[in-house]
Structure 1
């Protein structure tokens, strides 16, 4: 049960910026080549080589770049809600990538080796096994260490702030929100507004009315909504899909993805603060607290 809870820990989704992913894959390819060249961890039969062993090591180091980049490209397209990304999902998808790399390495054996058994199950297993032996460092050591590092970092950041009091007291205002469709214009009560969340082409807006939660669905973008609330600095965009009323925060905790906000009188959902928004969140909090 502890392992199950551990792999369900939130984990950052690092694959949104594909340029950065490509550069990281190039770095890993170079590191893999240097490691293989210096330590020669696998037994090789030079007599079976069609090309020099140096170039074989180069090929095996470069193969992961197109395989992993294509996988990450498709993964980015298919993932709709990155806030649900976990350590377990990271493990699973990286393991699938290692499996694919091993399989591709098996498919090119005929271009590298003269062995008549190139297409045997033995060599398929060998290529997959060797790929996992190289990648096990990433799966079993780096990922847990990075998770632990991020949790400590965000928890330490939280010690610098306190959200036990309202940012601005006695807020009692109603704002006329204009939508692209004039008939759908509406009034937003700042006092009862909890948060808003993107839902496809709509915006879900949540309220707290005497401990009873209600939701409205409006044809409005998050940017259009937020632009009309600029005069209320405590209405804050915590994530690319969320805007929250900072007055509604009851408590904050940290995880590897950033902060997690718990709202007063609302237990149905926690609100994420993405890693890229943490510094701005802290600055807004401190400036409001000092007003």
Structure 2
């Protein structure tokens, strides 16, 4: 696999729950403090210190918390489709966070050191370089290892799922779907239904046809749509933005984000199954395949 293909690999978006992000940042701060305090990886001139060396280590360990948290807060708001998150994007944004942490460390030098060259380019480069030296473990080792771990985990579980489904047809597969506007209510034939996905305040519903597939835009939320299909066990919400007909699945593969579904008569793309839905998906898919 070449580098371009590798960095385009899907990767989990871990920043949806800010409380977990804050907890992880605090844990990383503790690890950073212990590593810097015990091993002293950087040369320091104690005579220039305005405050005790211990507090300097504490400051450099704590500064990343607000910097990274604020960045992640706005990142979460800016990312609309987390299923499009990749390893390359993860690398890029973590590198930006490391740069900002290094910049913040540079800006507080006057508070820590008496050196008259605190505002020089040399020390700007030094603070950013030191930050990347510490953070390179996360960028170069942990991310690729986590990617391979997740791919292996999800691919391994897939082997336990049924390869083919039984040919079972419901006597009645017509669902009456109600929308906020009565005139826009419609019938849905679940034998031709493939999947539905969020499109702003609407949903796009994909069907098979004699010529392949087509899609219709409906004024309805995904939650409202799914609730009206709750009596059909083969309709499943695989992602916060997707509902799929489990009987329309042609093949399943695994990646770091979860599963990827390919559907019959829909060669244009795939449907994601998020990591949080995998356990329920396995159960539902196995049940309808019996």
Q: Structure 1 length as normaliser, TM-score?
A: 0.98
The Cα of 1:174 is off from its aligned counterpart by 1.4
Q: Is the 8 A contact 1:168 1:247 kept in 2?
A: no
Aligned to 1:107: 107
Aligned to 1:229: 229
Matched, 1:184 2:201: no
Aligned to 2:62: 62
Matched, 1:71 2:67: no
> Which runs of 5 or more residues in structure 1 are unaligned?
none
The Cα of 1:105 is off from its aligned counterpart by 0.4
Q: Is the 8 A contact 1:202 1:217 kept in 2?
A: yes
> Which runs of 5 or more residues in structure 2 are unaligned?
none
Equivalent residue runs for 1:211-250 within 5 Å: 211-250=211-250
Q: Is the 8 A contact 1:167 1:285 kept in 2?
A: no
The C-alpha deviation readout for 1:49-83, integer Å capped at 9, x for no partner, is 00000000000000000000000000000000000
The Cα of 1:172 is off from its aligned counterpart by 5.2
Q: Is the 8 A contact 1:166 1:247 kept in 2?
A: no
**Matched positions, count:** 290
Q: Is the 8 A contact 2:109 2:118 kept in 1?
A: yes
Cα distance in structure 1, aligned partners of 2:217 and 2:159? 36
Aligned to 1:147: 147
The Cα of 1:169 is off from its aligned counterpart by 3.0
Q: Is the 8 A contact 2:234 2:247 kept in 1?
A: yes
Cα distance in structure 1, aligned partners of 2:116 and 2:109? 10
Aligned to 1:136: 136
The C-alpha deviation readout for 1:146-205, integer Å capped at 9, x for no partner, is 000000000001001024224733565211100011011001011100000000000100
Deviating more after overlay: 162-171 vs 96-105: 162-171
Secondary structure in 2 aligned to 1:142?
helix
- Backbone CA RMSD of aligned residues: 1.1
The Cα of 1:267 is off from its aligned counterpart by 1.1
Aligned to 1:49: 49
Matched, 1:27 2:41: no
The C-alpha deviation readout for 1:100-135, integer Å capped at 9, x for no partner, is 000000000000000000000000000000000000
Cα distance in structure 1, aligned partners of 2:269 and 2:181? 29
Secondary structure in 2 aligned to 1:267?
strand
Q: Is the 8 A contact 1:178 1:185 kept in 2?
A: yes
Cα distance in structure 2, aligned partners of 1:171 and 1:163? 25
Q: Is the 8 A contact 2:204 2:215 kept in 1?
A: yes
Q: Is the 8 A contact 2:8 2:88 kept in 1?
A: yes
Q: Is the 8 A contact 2:106 2:123 kept in 1?
A: yes
